[in-house]
Structure 1
Amino acid sequence: MIAAIWAQDENGLIGKNDVLPWHLPDDLQFFKQMTENNVIVMGRKTFEGMGKNLLPNRQTIVLTSDKNYDGNGAKVMNSVDEVIEFAESFEGITFITGGGEIYKSFLPHIDVLYRTLIKHEFEGDTYFPYLDWEEWNIVSTSEGTVDDKNSYPHDFETYQRNSK
């Protein structure tokens, strides 16, 4: 199964200079909980925005056109088809984790969406690609925690693609 997971502000913003424009530990915990023991796929810029650090307890795939890219321990793949072929043989969930162009490339292949909607507006340069919401059914939604470490109200939403 292929899923997308991301956080966005009210305007669909997902990034600024290849990193998140907010600090929201509750969302980071949700991301960890969902992706542990699974696979995360990201583009080279997103990977480098994380300092090329591998997250524990998940396999990382970096998608790049650079056939000689040093993934610093991550598996490097050079095409969407290569990732899809991998995902079809993987028993867990293959999570698409960004950035914007990577989400756009995989949208036709995604079965489930995990969106954190932050009820705030931020400044940035990368937005989640256009999504036809008519193709998706909301499965669940829950409020995130707002406290001294999590300043922004946010909801965790899960969508499943309509059957065709």
Structure 2
Amino acid sequence: MELVSVAAVAENGVIGRHDEVPWDLPEDKKQYRERVAGHPTVFGRRTYEMFADPPGSAQIVLSRSPREYDRETASHASDVAETVEIAESLGTDRAFVLGGGAIYDLFQPHLDRMVLTRVPGEYEGDTFYPEFDEDEWLLVETEAYENFTVETWERRDERSE
């Protein structure tokens, strides 16, 4: 199972403020939804609840408290292992981790790839993308857009050396 995080990150690491994204980049939202379409997506409960129409073919919501969701495509998981088990049961080989900050922290050691939208500037925020050791990752693609850049990172291992 390939685990891929997708996040928009300001220069100072900010990804959110008061449960909202502190910038408006419609083209980023479009490429983000296209990227994760057809795959399960993973959220913390608060991040999941921010979406009127959550992206992905199915949504796996991590929460300490089991609960029911009003979408047929949403299910609860209590940890990384259960998340992977649910995603595999859906017949997929990839799941996208979409936040928030605590979920990115939890999954960081398990990720195979990161797709990071680099948002120019520094923003006030209360939620941050986890710092990572660039020596453990390989930047494999950079895609420039008008107001942002999308970087794809792959975890280094024997195959990428």
Give your verdict on TM over 0.5: yes
Quote the Cα distance in structure 1 between the aligned partners of 2:18 and 2:64.
Answer: 20
Which secondary structure does the structure 1 equivalent of 2:104 belong to? helix
Cα distance between partner residues in 1 of 2:92 and 2:34: 17
**Change in CA separation of 1:48 and 1:144 when aligned onto 2, cut-off 3 Å:** same
Identity among equivalent pairs (%): 34
SS of the residue corresponding to residue 76 of structure 1 reads strand
Q: State the TM-score, normalized to the length of structure 1.
A: 0.87
Q: Match for 1:161 among 148, 152, 155?
A: 155
Give the AA of the match of 2:78. Answer: N
Gaps of 5+ in 2: none
The 5-angstrom pairing of residues 78-157 of structure 1 reads 78-88=78-88, 90-145=91-146, 153-157=147-151
User: SS state of the match for residue 3, structure 1?
Assistant: strand
Aligned Cα root-mean-square deviation (Å): 1.5
Whole-Å Cα distance in 2 between the matches of residues 19 and 49 of structure 1?
8
1:111 is displaced (CA, Å) by 0.3
CA distance in 2, matches of 1:116, 1:108: 20
Structure 1's unaligned 5+ residue stretches are 146-152
1:70 has 2:91 as partner: no
Question: How far has the Cα of 1:4 moved from its partner?
Answer: 0.4
Aligned residue for 2:24, secondary structure, equals: coil
**4+ runs deviating over 6 angstroms:** none
User: Bigger shift: 23-32 or 76-85?
Assistant: 76-85
Give the letter for the 1:143 counterpart.
A
- For 1:135 and 1:86, locate their aligned partners in 2 and report how far apart those are by CA, in whole Å: 28
| Number of matched pairs | 154
2:117–2:151: 8 Å Cα contact kept in structure 1? yes
SS of 1:27's partner is helix
1:61-89 CA distance string (max 9 Å, x none): 1110111x232211111222101223445
Query: What TM-score results when the alignment is normalised by the length of structure 2?
Result: 0.89
For 1:13, the equivalent position in structure 2 comes to: 14
Contact 2:68 2:75 in 1 (8 A): no
C-alpha separation in 1, matches of 2:125 and 2:109? 26
**What whole-Å deviation, never above 9, does each CA across 1:75-119 have from its counterpart, x for those lacking one?**
111222101223445424200000011011111110011000011
1: CA distance, partners of 2:133 / 2:79: 24
Check 1:17–1:70 CA distance in 2 against 1; reply closer, same or farther (3 A cut).
Answer: farther
